[in-house]
Amino acid sequence: MSATLVPDVGRTVVRANYHPAILIGGTVVVAALFTAAPWFLPVAWVSVLNNFFLLLIMATMWNLLAGYAGMVSIGQQGFIGLGSYALLYLALKGMNPFAAIPLAALIAGAIAVPVTFLLFRLRGGYFSVATWVVADSAMLVILSISYLGGGTGRPMPGLTSLSPSEYNHDSYLATWLTALVVSVGTYLLLRSRLGLVLASMRDNETAARSSGAKVTSTRRWIFVIAAMGCGAAGAVLAISQPFVQPGNAFNINWLAEMLFATIIGGIGTVEGPIIGTIVYFVLYQSLQGLGAWYLIIFGALAVAVALWQPGGVWGLVRDKTRFELLPVGYRVRER
């Protein structure tokens, strides 16, 4: 463990290290269990896990965007929709839908690049509203393209040859592996130099600029990465629900769910989206019989957590125990 000494205070700044053997071993075991899930779980539970990992991708990307880069977007459903339709277009051109998932994510990221030059002229609430406008504009463009089904939508080509069991198995694995890549990639990014710049920007943007951090370019990278992640989520969504429709692909509910999971779990932490997604699905399975009331309960719970426990569930656990499961930053330790 490397350390940088801070003179005159008797403390040491150290990297918040993880235990590689435990983390890597645990990741391998969990990955093996989830990969094998279709062989030993009922179809209904595999479907729940599929939706769980789909939301985890979305929440992880929104947390990266808002929790670490300070960009509160309310338009990420736009990139989810673009990912779905990018995959549909590629499949219509003859590509295997499963093989085209990474390319669909890249297309969503490529679209995000010019968008940043418009959005980054705005700050605060204006930025947030502009992301919503971008999402709605993207949906309107898709609605005008008859080749992609317009307002009716189109079925995803390349899936009809699969048997029901093959389809359930393959669509689940696509979602799970995408979630694994997104989660591990986000963790490694936050432990990199770029993650250190993000932390300095979040703590004090003015100080970060004065120390030479390229704040705007860093934000642009994060926005594009988050768009790619949401595009990947949209792509696996298009496979999991193989009739691609604008109303589903660009559904505002995706935004509500990823916000809920991030806020409840703990915004600005790697563990937060994971914990929040678990809480969301436990509550959803318990309350879905209440009809529209479960949405009211979810909203009230999110507001209560934001007001009285801004760190979320994981923030409360961390404050009480001083334990970090997936540390990414630095900490001050008494010498």
Domain residue limits, the chain: 20-251
What is the distance, to the nearest Å, from the Cα of residue 119 to the centroid of all Cα atoms in its chain? 20
Assess whether pLDDT exceeds 60 at residue 8. no
pLDDT of residue 129: 95
Confidence of residue 321 (pLDDT cuts 50, 70, 90): confident
pLDDT of residue 21: 65
Q: What share of the chain is helix, strand, coil (3-state, %, to 5)?
A: 70, 5, 25
Residues in a beta bridge with 332: 13
pLDDT of residue 331: 60
| Percent over 90 (pLDDT), the chain | 56
Nearest to 76 by CA among 64, 88, 86, 62: 62
Count of CB atoms situated within 10 Å of the CB of 208? 20
Mean pLDDT in residue range 247-261: 93
How far lies 259's CA from each of 29, 37, 271, 304, in Å?
A: 29, 27, 15, 14
In angstroms, the CA 306 to CA 309 distance is 6
DSSP per residue over 66-116, as a string? IIIT----S-HHHHHHHHHHHHHHHHHTT--TTTTHHHHHHHHHHHHHHHH
The pLDDT tens digits of the residues spanning 76-126 come to 999 999 999 999 999 999 999 999 999 999 999 999 999 999 999 998 899
Residues in a beta bridge with 11: 6, 334
Count of CB atoms situated within 10 Å of the CB of 237? 27
pTM of the model: 0.90
In angstroms, the CA 227 to CA 76 distance is 7
The pLDDT tens digits of the residues spanning 128-170 come to 999 999 999 999 999 999 999 988 989 999 888 888 888 999 9
Assess whether pLDDT exceeds 60 at residue 332. no
The pLDDT tens digits of the residues spanning 195-229 come to 888 888 877 777 778 777 788 899 999 999 999 99
pLDDT of residue 235: 97
Q: Are 295 and 283 in contact (CB under 8 A)?
A: no
